């Protein structure tokens, strides 16, 4: 009788007096206490009728309770479905309708959840059973639920503990959100599996992070964490053993600057919601700036349709998801005939097997580590008064890596558009700049040339640009302060 993920991550906490979570106010939660929270919630979920395979959707602020709920859902054989706290009511309505969860937790519902830990018993599961569904936006604008099995999550956590040499002496500084692969699976699962502790912060606030760092041994971050740290004067990280980066491209310059300022060579790795982690720079050995390292143990990576050294990155291994929830056609379309997952990322591989990500075939903006699919924003923009058509692109941004930018045709009132968008879209998806032009550049097939738009407005957020409105007659521009 077994529950693979629960047995590996949560069961070992029974009776442990060592802290598993350290909070910003200094409060500590022992392994035993954390397990009791999981067991209490587990009993409560069963009492509410949750059975194996049920989806349990969760949109709650980051807290120890939220993490214990994750453990409880896994323990009772249900499927954890975390949602970004920034999602609007209409976005959440879509996920609830699509996934049909047995229960939905917001903060109030979580606060009211209690059960008797004595009544708890984990539910048996197989490696192929689902442990989580994480929604990832699609190029058509419709989000897809990536189904992740116990085996997917377990295999990846094992490989990462090993690759990054985690032990129970580690204290991971955790400042990421816990509704995505990075913060939940890479960070929490790895820490749980190693039996170490996490300094569990509500979000990335640079001053708090610096203050808390003194007790940590490892930090995992998106590139924005590192650019923000580099803006600080005093960076004394001599006691740290590891900094990792992922979810978005880390500029080689940031990598070099961080090494020069702190003596730490950031370890960059590459993953996706659908695959967990695929590649990593080595813990011992050369961590090469601008590369995402080599395939992790048990993960196979290949490039297809290679032209001038650049090919589509395809992945195969126990980490690769079980498909999109109730979307067999979309699932089939993203696998090759011989079973490799087509990532949509373009890469090169050097003679030593180090992969570099050089572009994306998918029309996607990654801003501060969050993915925004332009189509989704364009669809809402096109409903705004005065907008005839729109093109949404990502432009280089000093803080967020890329920022969302909208090019509009028509005569819209730019002052009212942000509020109209915010009613429907999470705020991180809203354009940080907009411009109105006479027409969008198109190729002979009539397709909007987004590469051309990215070239024209490339310097918009850098401040050093020539005024882009010179490139577009009758243009008006707006930098949105959101």
Residues that bind ligand AMP (CB under 6 A): 136, 181, 246-249, 268, 270-273, 292, 343, 345, 357, 360, 366, 371
Report the chain's terminal Cα–Cα distance, integer Å.
51
Among ligand AMP, ligand MLC, none, residue 393 binds (CB under 5-8 Å by kind)? none
Residues 357-396: x/- map of binding to ligand MLC (CB under 6 A)? ----------xxxx--------------------------
Interface positions, 235-254, toward ligand MLC (CB under 6 A): 246-247
The distance of closest approach from Cβ of residue 360 to ligand AMP in the complex, given in angstroms and rounded to an integer, is: 5
- Which residue in the set 3, 224, 227, 280 belongs to the binding site for ligand MLC (CB under 6 A)? 224
Residues 154-193: x/- map of binding to ligand MLC (CB under 6 A)? ----------------------xx--xxxx----------
Q: How many of the chain's residues bind ligand MLC (CB under 6 A)?
A: 23
Considering only the stretches 12-20, 105-113, 266-274, 379-387, report the one whose residues sit in contact with ligand MLC under the rule CB under 6 A: 266-274
Torsion angle in degrees (nearest 10) through CA of 123, 126, 128, 129: -10
H or E segment at 200? strand 197-200
Among ligand AMP, ligand MLC, none, residue 357 binds (CB under 5-8 Å by kind)? ligand AMP
Which residue, 478, 384, 365, 379, is CA-closest to 432? 478
Considering only the stretches 21-29, 112-120, 268-276, 464-472, report the one whose residues sit in contact with ligand MLC under the rule CB under 6 A: 268-276
Among ligand MLC, ligand AMP, none, residue 249 binds (CB under 5-8 Å by kind)? ligand AMP
Which residue, 157, 71, 161, 141, is CA-closest to 113? 71
Burial 3-32 (b: 16+ CB within 10 A, else e): bbbbbbbbbebeebeebbbbbeeeeebbbe
- Distance in angstroms (rounded) separating the CA atoms of residues 229 and 207: 9
Please say whether the beta carbons of 452 and 441 come within 8 A. yes
The distance of closest approach from Cβ of residue 98 to ligand AMP in the complex, given in angstroms and rounded to an integer, is: 17
Among ligand AMP, ligand MLC, none, residue 343 binds (CB under 5-8 Å by kind)? ligand AMP
Which residue, 315, 294, 372, 310, is CA-closest to 346? 310
- Distance in angstroms (rounded) separating the CA atoms of residues 414 and 406: 11
The distance of closest approach from Cβ of residue 368 to ligand AMP in the complex, given in angstroms and rounded to an integer, is: 11
- Which residue in the set 70, 200, 204, 405 belongs to the binding site for ligand MLC (CB under 6 A)? 204
- Distance in angstroms (rounded) separating the CA atoms of residues 263 and 261: 6
Output the CA angle 152-155-161, nearest 5 degrees. 135
Among ligand AMP, ligand MLC, none, residue 16 binds (CB under 5-8 Å by kind)? none
Which residue, 365, 357, 316, is CA-closest to 337? 316
Among ligand AMP, ligand MLC, none, residue 136 binds (CB under 5-8 Å by kind)? ligand AMP
- Which residue in the set 70, 258, 340, 428 belongs to the binding site for ligand MLC (CB under 6 A)? 428
- Distance in angstroms (rounded) separating the CA atoms of residues 254 and 272: 22
Which of 35/269 has CB closer to ligand MLC?
269
């Amino acid at each position: 009788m077994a529950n693979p993920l629960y047995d590996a991550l949560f069961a070992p906490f029974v009776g442990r007096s060592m802290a598993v979570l350290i909070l910003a106010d200094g409060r500590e939660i022992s392994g035993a206490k954390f397990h009791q929270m999981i067991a209490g919630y587990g009993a409560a979920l069963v009492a509410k009728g949750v059975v194996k395979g049920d989806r349990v959707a969760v949109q709650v602020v980051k807290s120890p309770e939220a993490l214990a709920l994750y453990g409880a859902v896994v323990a009772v054989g249900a499927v954890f479905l975390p949602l970004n706290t920034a999602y609007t009511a209409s976005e959440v309505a879509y996920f609830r309708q699509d996934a049909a969860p047995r229960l939905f937790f917001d903060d109030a519902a979580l606060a009211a959840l209690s059960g008797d830990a004595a009544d708890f018993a984990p539910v048996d599961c197989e490696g192929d059973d689902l442990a989580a569904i994480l929604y990832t936006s699609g190029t058509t604008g419709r989000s897809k639920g990536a189904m992740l099995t116990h085996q997917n999550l377990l295999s990846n956590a094992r490989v990462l503990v090993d690759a990054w040499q985690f032990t129970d002496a580690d204290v991971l500084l955790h400042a990421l959100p816990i509704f995505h692969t990075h913060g939940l699976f890479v960070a929490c699962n790895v820490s749980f599996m190693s039996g170490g502790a996490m300094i569990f912060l509500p979000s990335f606030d640079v001053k708090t992070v610096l203050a808390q760092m003194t007790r940590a041994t490892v930090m995992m971050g998106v590139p924005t964490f590192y650019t923000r740290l580099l803006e600080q004067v005093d960076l004394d990280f001599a006691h740290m053993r590891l900094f990792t980066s992922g979810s978005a491209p880390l500029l080689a310059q940031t990598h070099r600057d961080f090494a020069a300022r702190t003596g730490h060579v950031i370890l960059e790795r590459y993953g996706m919601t659908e695959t967990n982690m695929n590649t990593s720079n080595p813990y011992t050995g050369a961590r090469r700036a601008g590369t995402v390292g080599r395939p992790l143990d048990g993960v196979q990576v290949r490039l297809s349709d290679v032209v001038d050294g650049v090919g589509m990155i395809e992945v195969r291994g126990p980490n690769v998801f079980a498909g999109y929830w109730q979307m067999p056609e979309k699932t089939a379309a993203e696998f090759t005939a011989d079973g490799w997952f087509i990532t949509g990322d373009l890469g090169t591989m050097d003679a030593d097997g180090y992969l570099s990500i050089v572009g994306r075939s998918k029309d996607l903006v990654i801003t501060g580590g969050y993915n925004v699919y332009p189509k989704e924003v364009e669809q809402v923009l096109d409903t705004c008064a005065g907008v005839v058509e729109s093109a949404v692109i990502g432009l280089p941004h000093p803080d967020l890596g890329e920022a969302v930018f909208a090019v509009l045709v028509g005569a819209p009132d730019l002052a009212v558009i942000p509020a109209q968008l915010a009613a429907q879209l999470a705020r991180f998806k809203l354009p940080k700049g907009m411009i109105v032009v006479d027409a969008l550049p198109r190729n002979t097939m009539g397709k909007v040339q987004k590469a051309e738009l990215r070239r024209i407005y490339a310097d918009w957020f850098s401040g050093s640009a020539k005024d882009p409105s010179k490139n577009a007659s009758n243009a008006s521009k707006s930098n949105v302060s959101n």
